[in-house]
Amino acid sequence: MGRNILFITTDQMRFDALGAHGGKVARTPIIDSIARSGIDYQRAHNQNVVCMPARSTMLTGQYVGTHGVWMNGVPLPADAPSVASVLGEAGYRTALFGKAHFEPHVDFKGEFYENRMGLNGEFGPHRGFEHMELATHSPLILHYGAWLREHMPESIGGFYPNLTSQMRVNGTGGGETGAIQVHGNPIVRDAYHTDWVANRTLEWLDGLSPEEDFFCWMSFPDPHHPWDPPESERGRIPWREISVPEGYPGSTEEARRILEQKPHHWLDYFEGRKVSNMEAPPSFIPAQMVPDQLREIDALTHIENELIDEACGRVLARLEARGVLDETDIFFTTDHGELQGDFGLLFKGAYHVDALMRVPLLWQPARAAGIEGASIEAPVGHIDLAPTFCSVADLQIPDWMQGQALPLDGEDAERQNRQRVLTEWDSDFEGDTLSLRTIHRDGYTCTFYQKSSLYDGSEGELYDLREDPHQWVNLWNDPERQSIKRDLIADLRDHLPVNHNRREPVSPV
């Protein structure tokens, strides 16, 4: 028997959501224990800050410009390489439960197999996974939607109509404060998609023999908006008893002062003049959000984080009971973060700051491997996950993967010359184009804006995170930082592959 791989992902979880990373709201003892006993990468970044590009990088081990999924709505090519295929060909049993999102969800013609599977009662194989049972935030589609229609059809109407909101026409609010995309959901907890994903994972794992090696991707749709966890769980974190998040500027005036230092699409979004990408409801004006609304959203987000933690605990306990936990490597990450009040904003988009780029990335090696835990400050990325899975399986890393196996400790990171991590953004939304390229190195985050419909190519952002962890002070035009800015931009251009696989989006999400 070799080493199994349990790959756990969430959707839109901030680095600081976990207790192990300073989180003060959600109780996440299971995930925190992975961080403490395993390897905790303190400076892990995604290579794109929205779902489809980030998830495609995890699957392929390639930069966005190589796999071609440059924005949501662009499907991963059918013939794209997959680490699941590599592992499957080596004898691993492979499965994915929960959110895949390598293909657009808005698919009225049934063009994409991800969407057809649930309707047709099929479970793969697809993209190297011999078995898939898929879920997203909406109960209307995929296997989760089919399961609800069969077992609990009355529950479907209890969810916030998120598929409609993703189509850019629904920005309604609710809850006790009228906060956007907050909604009371009467569904019983065991039927909510978090527990459903864990339940489907457990059933599949129970069907394996102890001698079969597995690669299982357990992918939770939460804590992505809308914020509609089961009503039975809302009492976990009373929103009136928590403070606003630390990154919230404290007032509309202070948020405006901070945003005026950044390229203009930041303040345009805050003031409601323009939503320049599809990742936020166009009717939402962040400047009108009051602190109580943010506190209610924050509380519900962390309730969803607690449910994820407990679901992870159930799966790990089952692996222990089956006697295979000692031979199982556990990885935990998310696709991207959430602004969640930072700068007075919500949701995500063309904003290359820690709230969206910096992600939790944990690796608890199989006990049988004898690898000690560590906290690693060197920069790493999602692009390194697929090569690491190959390394765990003792397989040669394919030439088409552009990352490298994650370092095991600080010395290993130094040997690998881990100096930088890169993130890219391109979007085209309602006639507005944006193109950002970002490097994090030596405590600096530097983003230069390529020429687009909104910018002439001279704009950018530069933050010294040692002095300014909230990224409130843009040093782009600071005379004393011009040398480091030029050096970082040159370094970024030297290391980021040229985009050569751009295709048109086929769907809004």
pLDDT-flagged residues of the chain (< 50): 165-169
Amino acid at 493: R
Q: 337 and 12 in contact (C-beta within 8 Å)?
A: yes
Helices (H), 333-394: 354-357, 385-392
* Six token digits for residue 183: 């909604």
> Using one digit for the tens of pLDDT, what is the confidence trace for 398-441?
999 999 999 999 999 999 999 999 999 999 999 999 999 999 99
DSSP classification of residue 472: -
What pLDDT is stored for residue 169 in this prediction?
Answer: 45
The residues near 24 (Cβ < 8 Å, ≥ 6 apart) are none
Chain segment 330-371, per-residue pLDDT in tens: 999 999 999 999 999 999 999 999 999 999 999 999 999 999
pLDDT > 70: what percent of the chain?
Answer: 96
Structure tokens at 328: 């199982």
- Closest C-alpha among 393, 390, 414 to residue 404: 390
Backbone φ and ψ for 138, nearest 5 degrees, come out as -90, 140
Across the chain, which distance is largest between two alpha carbons, in Å?
64
Domain ranges across the chain: 4-418
Q: How many Cβ atoms from other residues are within 10 Å of residue 409's Cβ?
A: 16
Check residue 379 and give its pLDDT.
98
pLDDT at res. 109: 85
How far apart are the C-alpha atoms of 116 and 450, rounded to whole Å? 38
Q: Are 138 and 147 in contact (CB under 8 A)?
A: no
Question: What's the topology of domain 4-418?
Answer: Alkaline Phosphatase, subunit A (3.40.720)
- 8 Å CB contact between 41 and 326: no
Find out whether 394 and 2 touch, Cβ atoms under 8 Å. Answer: yes
In total, the chain counts a number of residues equal to 509
